[in-house]
């Protein structure tokens, strides 16, 4: 079994920001919780990481002292008490480090936090950065891929329980709770996000909240769900189930979405532009006359967070790299009627891609026979 190499990750980050002439910082103050976790293994919150060539220091408080010793052996830790703040501690650590230019994560600091830091840190200049750690996180290492595969496996076992337990009188909320409980029974630390469970018109809302609508009210049921492992890695899947006789329009829309998804997946390989893959799916949907009903990007990266920085959309300037893991999730949403989205998790490989998820997706397989 693989294991995470946090020291190697920190070394890569140091090499990246020290090698950028336009950035030229001596160290970084990492404040994004997922970024701190990625670089150290610490699973708590309210903690920052100071990283420089000669310093790796986690700045935290007494609540986490024992946890930090267990999760981050070999990493220096500074613990503040109730009479000091994170800004006080950061100022002290940076002053002792004798560095002049400190990179800060502008995506993770509010304006008020930045102003407070500037008031405390006078020995060094604060330099805004964006996405330095997130770009490292785009390409998963073997240990991360193991965690993601486990998250997918748990999610798939959970949906199998739900599919076999569907009943006409169940509400969207009851289905959601059943799914959450099933995934926990199979080892999930929790859900990757609040599951989306939509019957009929609710399914036409891309980010709907499960409510009181019952399965019997429409033949179409959309479920968007994922599991989170103990290591906080996630999965993200969507399936549509037909719990009654689908209309001709429902069948047509389902097959268009599936065709768009499969064509896009087929095109994913290293060096291909994310925007080009998005356009493959988008044109198929547009050519079928449903273009205005597909308003979001085709997919996104995920891992420690459910939305990470790889983006498939018309605006993306990225290219796929081996080791990236992304969702592919085209959808058609007809307001007041129904929606269809089909989503799978894809690993970019050196030769092309691997579809990591295997929940049946063909139209005939989407029909729940004992309800239809």
pLDDT for residue 19 is more than 70: no
Q: What is the pLDDT of residues 47-70, one digit of tens each?
A: 999 999 888 999 999 999 999 999
Closest CA to 29 of 74, 59, 69: 59
pLDDT for residue 120 is more than 90: no
Q: What is the pLDDT of residues 235-257, one digit of tens each?
A: 999 999 999 999 999 999 999 99
Closest CA to 363 of 247, 251, 259, 281: 251
Q: Could you please report the per-residue DSSP string of 143-182?
A: HHHHHHHHHHHHHHHHHHHHHHH--TT-BHHHHHHHHHHH
How many beta carbons lie within 10 A of that of residue 5, not counting itself?
Answer: 13
Enumerate the domain spans of the chain: 6-136, 142-366
pLDDT for residue 366 is more than 70: yes
The predicted structure's pLDDT at residue 113: 87
Closest CA to 305 of 231, 227, 233: 233
> Which residue do the tokens 């209309």 mark?
247
pLDDT confidence bin for 20, thresholds 50/70/90: low
The residues, ordered by sequence, that sit 6+ positions from 314 with a Cβ below 8 Å of its Cβ are 275, 278, 279, 282, 297
Fold of 142-366: Creatine Amidinohydrolase (3.90.230)
Q: What is the pLDDT of residues 123-162, one digit of tens each?
A: 889 999 999 999 999 999 999 999 999 999 999 999 999 9
How many beta carbons lie within 10 A of that of residue 300, not counting itself?
Answer: 22
The predicted structure's pLDDT at residue 123: 80
pLDDT confidence bin for 371, thresholds 50/70/90: confident
Using only C-alpha atoms, what is the Rg of the chain? 23
pLDDT for residue 330 is more than 70: yes
Q: What is the pLDDT of residues 192-230, one digit of tens each?
A: 999 999 999 999 999 999 999 999 999 999 999 999 999
Between β-strands 27-30 and 101-105, what pairing exists: parallel, antiparallel or unpaired? parallel
The predicted structure's pLDDT at residue 240: 98
Compute CA distances 166 → 152, 252, 333, whole Å.
21, 24, 23
Q: What is the pLDDT of residues 60-105, one digit of tens each?
A: 999 999 999 999 998 999 999 888 888 899 989 988 888 899 999 9
Contact 245, 219 (CB under 8 A): yes
Between β-strands 338-341 and 27-30, what pairing exists: parallel, antiparallel or unpaired? unpaired
pLDDT for residue 1 is more than 80: no
pLDDT confidence bin for 22, thresholds 50/70/90: low
d(CA 65, CA 67): 6
Contact 133, 157 (CB under 8 A): no
pLDDT for residue 13 is more than 70: yes
Helix, strand, or coil here: 241? strand
pLDDT confidence bin for 370, thresholds 50/70/90: confident
Fold of 6-136: Creatine Amidinohydrolase; Chain A, domain 1 (3.40.350)
d(CA 309, CA 111): 22
Percent of the chain with pLDDT over 90: 84
Order of all β-strands in the sheet with 125-129: 76-80, 55-61, 48-52, 27-30, 101-105, 125-129
Average pLDDT over residues 263-274: 98
Alpha helices in the chain (DSSP H): 6-18, 33-40, 65-71, 86-97, 111-120, 132-138, 142-165, 172-185, 248-267, 274-287
pTM: 0.96
**Mean pLDDT, the chain, whole residue set:** 95
Average pLDDT over residues 347-361: 98
């Amino acid at each position: 079994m693989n294991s995470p190499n946090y020291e190697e990750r920190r070394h890569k980050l140091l090499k990246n920001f020290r090698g950028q002439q336009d950035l030229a910082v001596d160290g970084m103050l990492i404040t994004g919780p997922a970024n701190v976790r990625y670089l150290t293994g610490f699973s708590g919150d309210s903690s920052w990481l100071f990283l420089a060539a000669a310093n790796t220091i986690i700045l935290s408080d007494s609540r986490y002292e024992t946890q930090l010793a267990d999760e981050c052996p070999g990493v220096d830790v500074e613990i503040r008490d109730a009479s000091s703040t994170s800004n006080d501690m950061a100022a002290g650590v940076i002053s002792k480090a004798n560095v002049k230019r400190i990179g800060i994560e502008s995506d993770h600091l509010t304006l008020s936090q930045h102003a407070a830091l500037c008031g405390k840190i006078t020995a060094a200049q604060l330099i805004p950065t964006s996405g330095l750690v997130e770009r490292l996180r785009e390409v998963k290492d073997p240990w991360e891929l193991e965690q993601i595969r486990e998250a997918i496996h748990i999610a798939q076992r959970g949906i199998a329980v739900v599919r076999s337990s569907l009943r006409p009188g169940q509400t969207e909320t009851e289905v959601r709770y059943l799914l959450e409980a099933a995934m926990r029974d199979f080892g999930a630390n929790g859900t990757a996000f609040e599951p989306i469970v939509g019957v009929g018109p609710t399914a036409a809302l891309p980010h709907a909240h499960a409510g009181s609508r019952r399965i019997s009210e429409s033949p179409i049921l959309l479920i968007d769900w994922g599991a989170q492992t103990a290591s906080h890695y996630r999965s993200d899947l969507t399936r549509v189930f037909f719990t009654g006789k689908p209309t001709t329009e429902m069948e047509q829309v389902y097959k268009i979405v599936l065709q768009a998804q499969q064509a896009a997946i087929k095109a994913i390989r290293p060096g291909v532009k994310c925007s080009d893959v998005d356009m493959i799916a988008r044109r198929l949907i547009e050519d079928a006359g449903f273009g205005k009903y597909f308003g979001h990007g085709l997919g996104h990266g995920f891992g420690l967070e459910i939305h990470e920085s790889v983006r498939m959309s018309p605006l993306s300037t990225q290219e796929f790299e081996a080791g990236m893991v992304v969702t592919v999730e085209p959808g058609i949403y007809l307001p007041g009627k129904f929606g269809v989205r089909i989503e799978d998790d894809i690993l970019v490989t050196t030769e092309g891609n691997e579809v990591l998820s295997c929940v049946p997706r063909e139209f005939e397989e989407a029909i729940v026979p004992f309800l239809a």
